[in-house]
Structures are given as structure tokens and as C-alpha cells.
Structure 1
Amino acid sequence: MTQTIEGSKKRRKKPILLYLFIIVLVIIAISIISFKKFVDNQLQPMAVENIKEIQIVIPKGTSSNGIAKILKDNNLIRNDLIFSLFAKYEKMDGKFKAGKYVLNNGMTQEEIMRKLVAGGVEKDSVTFTIPEGFELKQIAERLSEMGLVDKNSFLELTSKVSNFSSEFDFLKDVPEELSLEGYLYPDTYEVYTDVSEKDIVKKMLSRFDSLYTDELKAKAEELDLDINQVIALASIIEREGRVDSEREIISGVFHNRIKVGMALQSCATVQYILGERKPVLSTEDTLIDSPYNTYINQGLPPGPIASPGIRSIEAAVNPADVDYKFFVFNEDETGTHTFSVTYDEHKKAKNRIQNKR
């Protein structure tokens, strides 16, 4: 009887052990499948559209792990650990070469690895700087003087937003009839000497895209402004302001004028129409028939009048809480303005400044 009971217990144990074994196998299989999906996802390109060229430098003596970190920091790969493990699996580990590389965020990890094994490209590079407040024509002139672009080709290329709106989402909200005025971000850039006009434009647009953040977009929406209005206002602030501490106040003045239906009366917009930066405008100048003339038209001009820097862009969506509706340049080395609430105060400020001349 005892043997029968023990035999029965052993028979019951066998199915239980079998079930446990099957469950363990299922868990292992699910884990393997999940891990494979995770790895496959991490090996995918960073982008499938809006693909951008990215230049990197791999210093001599950099380990595979170090190279993986450089790639991760430049948004060329998703996971540096997976890249290092994949390099070992593909037997490319230790074969990567130092040098300069031009890669893009649409490349797979395998494509990047093969580039790194083949070696970098040695090209002469040059640095150029575009100051804040430059207009398209000034940008074209500077780049032309450096031998980087054909001035007329560059201006033709940048004359239509539609030439690049398919590659940059933010341009889809800019009226098609406008040029890229205001959207080529003023900064210092390094490019190869054989770079094309289009590559330079894309590089500058990419810089703008990286700086026009979701936070700025949210601020603009709160003020019921689209991107074109923000950059148009920012470009006026850029041209009118001379010190960073006043940019938000100048923005506040323009916002106040727009709210009460006053013309902005910005000299910078008339200077843009004239094609020269006259220090003093005549009455005739302020009456020029142009949609960009903010002396005779209410509200913002149709588009930007120059390339604003990030401080002016931030100021455009963060106007100071002030009552001012007027300002006049103090005409001294401080670069500051005198701000006024009423026109009478403004006239007194202008007279005081003129008497100091």
C-alpha cells in the first residue's frame, strides 16, 4: 500500500515538473523574442525623413566604446552599448579608423560601421560667422566674398520657402511666397571648402530648427502668434535693440502697440525697404508704399526683415509687462533707449536727446 502511494506521488510530480519546464521554456522564448525586437529597434536609423548630414571627428586612439559614445552624442545611433556589442558580433571592433566623417541620421548602424572601417575623409574646412541682424543679401555677400557661394545662385535658392519646406517641417507654416529671410540662423559654422550653396542653407536652417524649441512654440501659441509672426517680430527687435537687457522691453512696446491698434513705426522696417540703414529717416521715407512699411501699415510686416538671434526670438514671445508704447535711442555709448508711456513723454525724451548733440 505504501509503495502504491509513493508511486502515485512520483507520477503526479512528473507532469508538474513537465509543466514547469514548459513554462520556463516559454518565458525564455518570450525573453529572447523581446530582446531581439529591442535590439532590432536599437539598430534602426535615427530618422527616415528630414535626414541631416552630421560631421564628426574620431580622435586617434579612441576605443570602440568611445566611438559609440561620440555617435550617440551626435544623435547618429540610439544605443552606444548595442553599437559596441554589434561591432563585436560583426567582427568590426578594433577596425574603426580615426578621422573626419560626414555621416547622416538616416544611416543604419551597419552602414555607419562600414564607413568607420573604410576611414574618414580628409577635406579642407573653413569657418564663417553670420552676425545677428544680417539680411539675406548680406549673408550672400559675405559667403560670396569667402568664395563659398555664387551670390546670385544663393539668393535664388533662398528666394522661396518652398525650396526647403519639404525638408524642414517648421517651414510648412511659413507663407510660400516668402523667402528664407529670418530663418538662416546667425551663428559660426564650419564647412568643407567644396560645400554647395544648398548644403550651407540646410546647415543654417537645421541650426534654426534646433533652437526653435517646443517651449518657444508653446509661448507663441499662448500669444496667438504663428512662427512667421514670431520671427518677423524677433527680427525687428533684433534690429531695434542693442543691448540684451532691453529686448523684452522693446518686445513689450510692440505688443502694446499691436493690442491698441497703433502702427509699430519701426525705422528698421523702412531701412529694409530702402536697402540701406539710414541713421535718420525722412518723412518721405516713412511714407514709402510697401507692406513692410510699419509707419503706414498696422501690425507686423508680411515676414522677417533680418536674421534674429535666440535672445530676440525669446524676447518676441516673452514681452515685458510694461505700459510703454514709445522708445527712442539715447545716442550714447551705452546703446540704451528711453522708454515712455505717452507721446508727450516721448517728445520730451527726443528733445532732451537732440539737445545733447
Structure 2
Amino acid sequence: MDEKRLSPKEQEYVEKLAQVYIALAQLPAEQQKEYAEKIQELRHRLDRLTPEQKQAYDEKLYELAQQVRAKGKVSQASSEPKKEPLQPEPQVQEQWQTQEDSPEEPEEYEDEPPKKKKKKGRGCFIVLLLLLVIIFAAIGLGGTLVLRELNGSRGQVIEKATVEVEQGAGPLTIGQALEEAGIIQSAQIFRLYVKLEGVAPALQYGSFELSSDMTYDEILEVLQQPQDNRDTVRVTFPEGIPAVQFAQRMEEAGLCTAEEFLDVANNGDFSQFTFWNKRDENPNQFMACEGYLFPDTYDFFVGDDVYNMVAKIYGEFDKKFTEEMYQKVDEMGFTLSEFVTLASIVQEEAGGAEHQADVAAVFMNRLAENSPVPRLESNCASYIKNDNDNNYINNTIAPYYGGWDNIPQNIIDNYDTYNVAGLPAGPISNPGLEAMTNTLKYAESPYYGDYYFFVTDTLGNYYFNKTAEEHQAQVDKQKAEGTMPG
């Protein structure tokens, strides 16, 4: 959306609307009924906001709602519950009473603007407040009671129960089971909370011990814990293997077919994870999932949904890739996808951790502006058709398409590092945490700056050189000594 500043008059208007909304949301149900006409008027005014006004309104509403939530937590912690319902602040009440005197909407907004798609990430509490005016009459809960529902203050009698969640049950079904057991008071609010937290795929099935004095966050934490009575299969994914090998191992374990795994991993919606929303969408990339399947050992539930299995693997990447790492990627001038692509090449070229930062330094030298060697020329992604070589195009992409001649030309052109300047279209494997961490340390290597070549021998030694002549002399020496890899 293009930035557009609101006039002071517009800003004041939308802030008053937000204050009025919060005031109404906090009123007990009895008083809300008295303000039915005003509520209808408020809805009408909100519907007429432009996208820019709606943005400012949301920001103010978020600020006010955080204040209300803080008050709710303080009230819950008090040993003596308040007898009087939570009332709006005096200045908010005054603004409500003078709503008729608030600035009129600008004339150019007489026609209703197109509906703005609601943004995620505001937090479930905020959106619940947004929905209060609509649903309070249906479920009989005012803002104060919703706060108590979320924070675990649901009554003087504490109910404890074992709740059974069936396999495949959705948030509403689970909420209904919790409501019937007396753990929560509203299955609908539970469903909204789960949706807005984005944890639905992580909810497990089985038997859960719960209590009515638990907060919604505590309940969800329990519901995400795998149950011991479910059969599991353990699968190990080594660092540096490509996505197709992840899929093959899942099929060999009897958990799903390789095709099912790749379909979900490449085409599923995993926007609940931070990394997923930071990836580049490159039309020339072989597989969207490549690079983000975190190599580790996992226990998967037999018969579980394939989405949940993939989410478990993606979730580990999301956990391991820290904010500090994102910051360092930005400092490199890379996108996340570019960084993971480089780390995957480092994983394949360097193998062990000892020389990963050094290899990353050489590649960063080649990627630098005005580099005398602008191509990576990594045999791990090249035109070479040698089954004994570790070549992503020949050993991974070609078999997937049924042979080299069947590979789409745009894929070959964008993954051949001898042909394309800079990085290939996407990662060539799934690097481990060590490879990614060491790639971020490229500037600490003594070879960062003007070393553009390296070669290894069969003994595992690495040799770094500045010029093509020095590099070729090193290769000739290794050949003469019989230590040149075949």
C-alpha cells in the first residue's frame, strides 16, 4: 500500500473511533444492549473508512487493547476480585458521549471503500476485541468476561478433567470438547484464538489432563504435546541431503509416499513460520522446499497428516534460525533465500566445519562487485555429467525429471554455476545449522578479500589461492602426487 498521511482531522477521527470501540467492548452485556443504536452507528462508520484510515484505526486500537489487556492481567492477579465491572476511562466515556460532535468523514469517502484484507500478526486478543461487537449478543460475553476467559479466571469452582481429542479434530471440535468438560466457557472464542495464533496444525490428538484455571496459552501448550500412547517412527536426515532424499526416507519409513511429502512441502501453506514469509519466489527454482528442511532426527506419529510431519521439520528450521542470524543476513546484503543457497553450496563444498567459513569467504569474494571471477564455478551445481561427482543437477534434478534431456532448460541455465553469474536459482541441499552459522562468519576467514580459488586433496586438505595460475599449479601438483580427487 502506498504511504498516505492522514490529515490531523482524519487522525483525530479514527482515534476517537478506536477509543469508542474499546469503551464499548469493556461494557457489561447489560449496558451494551443499551447502546445498540450506537454500536450500529459505529459499525457503519468503520465500514466507511478508507484503507489508510483503517490502518491508523488498527494501530490505535492495538495500542488501546494492549492497555486493556494489561489491566485484565492485573485484575486477575488480585486476590480480591473487583465487584464493579470494568468501566471505560473517564475521557473515553466523554468522547463517546460527544461522538455526534466528532469530525464528519471527508466527503470523498461517501462511497464505501473496498474491504481491506485483515493483516495477520496483530495477535489474537486484538482481533477478538474487533469481533466483540459482532458476537457479544450471540454468546453473551462482554470484554471483561473475554479477558477472564483467556486468562483462566472462569469462576470460583475449578474443574479438572481428562479431555479426549480425536485424530483429525479441528479447533472448533476441540473447543466443544473443552467446553463440555467445563475447562473453557466458549468453544467459539477458543476456535478464534487457535486460528489467530496459527497453532492449529500443531495440535495433537489423545488424552489431555486440563484444568479450568489454565490460561488459553497454557491449554494450547498442553494440546501441542505429543501423547506417549501414539506409535512413532524415528527418521534421521543427515546434513546436506536434498529434498528428494528427505522424501525418500519418509517413504522408506512407511510414513507417506515421497510424492505426498514433496507436494505438501512445496505447495502447502506454512505462513505461520517466520522463514516461510521471507523466502524468495523464484520461478526458476527447482523446489520451493529445498534448503529449509532442517536436517535432524525426528519422531513422527504413525498415521499423522503429512502436513504435520512437514511442519515439524520446518518448525525446527524456524526455531534454529534466530533473529541474530536474520540480522547478519541483512548485513551481508542477502535475502534469506540467497543466504540459504550460499550455505547449501558451502555445505557441499566444505563438508566438515573446519573450512566452511573459508569456503564461504572465497565464494563471497567471487560474488563481490567487480570481482575478476564473477561465477561460482562449483562442481556441486554444474554441467558435469559424472555420477561419481556431487552434482545437484546430474544427481538430483535429472533423476527427478527422468533424465538430463528432460530437465527444463531454464532450470539447467539457472543452476549451472559455470554458466550463471552469481548464485544459482535456489539452494542445492538442506544445510545444517553448523554450515549456516559458519557461512555467516565468512569475513573472519583469512581468505576473505582476494582469494578466488580453492581445491581439496584426497587426504582432506584444503588449498586456497589468489590467482588462476596459482590454482592450476596446485592442481597439477596434486595430480603428480596422486592426491587429486577423481
TM-score normalised to structure 2 length:
0.49
CA contact (8 A) 1:243 1:336 kept: no
1:118-170, Cα deviation, whole Å (9 max, x unpaired): x956111121110001101111111111111111121222234xx23433232
Q: CA deviation at 1:38?
A: 5.7
Q: 1:199 aligns with which of 308, 320, 326?
A: 308
Question: Which residue of 431, 434, 459 corresponds with 1:308?
Answer: 431
In structure 1, the partner of 2:258 is 151
Unaligned runs of 5+ in 2: 1-69, 79-122, 126-150, 169-173, 175-193, 204-213, 383-390, 398-410
CA pair 113-232 structure 1, distance change in 2 beyond 3 A = closer
In the alignment, does 2:478 pair up with 1:353?
yes
Secondary structure (helix, strand or coil) at the match of 1:269 reads: coil
Q: Distance in 1 between matches of 2:74 and 2:332?
A: 46
- The corresponding residue for 1:268 is 380
Paired letter, 2:380: A
- In structure 2, which of residues 451, 456, 462 is the aligned counterpart of residue 329 of structure 1? 456
Distance 1:114 1:325 in 2: 50
The correspondence for 2:363, drawn from 254, 260, 271, is: 254
Partner of 2:415, secondary structure, is coil
- Work out the CA distance in 1 between the residues paired with 2:220 and 2:359: 51
Q: Which residue in 2 is equivalent to 1:291?
A: 414
- 1:34 Cα deviation (Å)? 6.1
**Matched residues in 1 for 2:349 and 2:221: separation?**
51
d(CA) in 1 for partners of 2:343, 2:364: 12
1:177-208 deviation per Cα after TM superposition (whole angstroms, max 9, x unaligned): 44110101001111111222211111111100
**Corresponding residue number in structure 2 for 1:124:** 231
Structure 1 33/246 Cα, relative in aligned 2: closer, same or farther at 3 Å?
closer
Any idea what SS the aligned residue of 1:230 has? helix
1:8 aligned partner: none
Equivalent residues in 2 for 1:1-357 (5 A)?
A: 35-36=74-75, 48=124, 90-92=158-160, 109=215, 112=219, 122-160=229-267, 163-176=268-281, 177=283, 178=285, 179-259=288-368, 260=371, 262-270=374-382, 271-275=391-395, 289-319=412-442, 320-322=445-447, 323-332=450-459, 335-357=460-482
Distance verdict in 2 for CA 1:207–1:33, change over 3 Å: closer
Distance 1:120 1:305 in 2: 36
Partner of residue 5, structure 2: none
1:336–1:96 CA distance, 2 compared to 1 (3 A): farther
1:238 maps to a residue whose letter is: Q
Q: 1:144 to 1:87 in 2, by over 3 A?
A: farther
Q: Per-residue deviation at 1:273?
A: 1.1
* Structure whose alpha-carbon radius of gyration is higher: 1
SS at match of 1:338: strand
Indicate conservation of the 8 Å contact 2:280/2:335, yes or no: no
Which moves more between the two structures, 318-327 or 293-302? 318-327
How far, CA to CA, are the matches of 1:209 and 1:88 in structure 2?
Answer: 40
In the alignment of these two chains, the number of paired residues is: 267
Measured after TM superposition, the shift of residue 336 of structure 1 is: 3.2
**Higher RCO (C-alpha 8 Å, min separation 6):** 1
Residues 223 and 90 (structure 1), Cα distance of their counterparts in 2 relative to 1, 3 Å cut: same
In the superposition, relative to structure 1, how do residues 321 and 220 fare at CA in structure 2: closer, same or farther (>3 Å)? farther
Identity of aligned residues (%): 27
> Alignment RMSD, CA only?
3.6
Q: Indicate if the aligned counterparts of 2:280 and 2:336 stay in contact, CA closer than 8 A.
A: no
C-alpha distance 48-137 of structure 1, shift in aligned 2 (>3 A)? farther
Q: Which residue of the partner structure matches residue 67 of structure 1?
A: none
TM-score (norm 1): 0.65
